[in-house]
C-alpha cells in the first residue's frame, strides 16, 4: 500500500501520541508507540507496557482483529523494532511472523542490541521499510529518555518515575 506524505505523517503522529501513553509505566524501557494500518484506516494501536509486558508492536498486533490479507497491513512505529529477545520476544520478528507488509519507522534505536539490526531483520524477510517519518518530532520526544537510559546503562540506576529519569540527565 502506498501512502501520501500527509498520511504517513498522520499515522506516525498517532503512533507518537500512543508512545506518550507509555510514560511513566514503561521506564526504564523507552516509550514507543505503534499503529497498524490498512487502506488508510488505523486498525490497532499499542504502546510499550511495564517492563516485561509487551512492547508497542506486540501490543498492537495482539489487539488486531483484522482477518484480511496481511499484505495489506502496514505498521507505523516511533522507534526501530527490537531485534533481540529479552524479557519479551523480538518485535521485528513479531511483525514478520504476523506478515506485516511494510513498516514505517520514526528513528533508529541506538541501543547496541538494535542500532539497525531490527530494520535489517525486517528487510531480509522481505518487509518494505521506510525510515525517518516525523524523525525530528520523535527525536525531540525520545531524546531525554535516550540520554537518561544511556546514562543508566552505565550507572546501573533505575527510576520510579519519569521525573526521576529526567532529573537524572547528564
Residues serving a catalytic function are 57
Annotate 38-87 with DSSP letters as a single string.
ETTEEEEEEE--STTS--HHHHHHHT----S-GGG-EEEEEE----S-SS
> What is the DSSP-derived secondary structure letter of residue 113?
T
Beta bridge partners of 108: none
- Cα distances (Å, whole numbers) of residue 87 to 29, 84, 105, 155, 158: 11, 10, 22, 21, 16
Annotate 14-45 with DSSP letters as a single string.
HHHHHHHHTTTTTTTS---EEEEEETTEEEEE
d(Cα 14, Cα 103) in Å, to the nearest integer? 15
Cis bond upstream, residue 58 (ω within 30): no
Cis bond upstream, residue 48 (ω within 30): no
Amino acid at each position: 500500500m502506498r501512502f501520501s506524505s500527509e498520511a504517513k505523517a498522520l499515522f506516525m503522529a498517532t503512533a507518537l501520541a500512543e508512545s506518550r501513553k507509555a510514560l511513566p509505566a514503561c521506564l526504564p524501557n523507552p516509550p514507543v508507540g505503534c499503529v497498524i494500518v490498512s487502506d488508510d484506516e488505523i486498525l490497532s494501536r499499542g504502546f510499550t507496557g511495564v517492563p516485561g509486558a509487551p512492547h508497542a508492536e506486540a501490543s498492537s498486533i495482539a489487539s488486531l482483529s483484522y482477518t484480511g490479507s496481511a499484505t495489506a497491513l502496514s505498521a507505523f512505529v516511533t522507534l526501530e523494532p527490537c531485534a533481540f529477545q529479552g524479557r519479551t520476544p523480538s518485535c521485528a520478528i513479531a511483525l514478520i511472523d504476523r506478515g506485516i507488509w511494510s513498516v514505517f519507522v520514526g528513528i533508529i534505536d541506538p541501543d547496541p542490541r538494535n542500532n539497525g539490526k531490527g530494520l535489517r531483520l525486517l528487510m531480509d524477510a522481505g518487509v518494505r521499510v521506510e525510515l525517518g517519518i516525523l524523525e525530528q518530532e520523535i527525536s525531540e520526544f525520545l531524546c531525554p529518555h535516550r540520554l537518561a537510559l544511556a546514562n543508566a546503562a552505565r550507572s546501573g540506576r533505575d527510576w520510579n518515575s519519569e521525573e526521576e529519569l529526567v532529573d537524572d540527565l547528564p
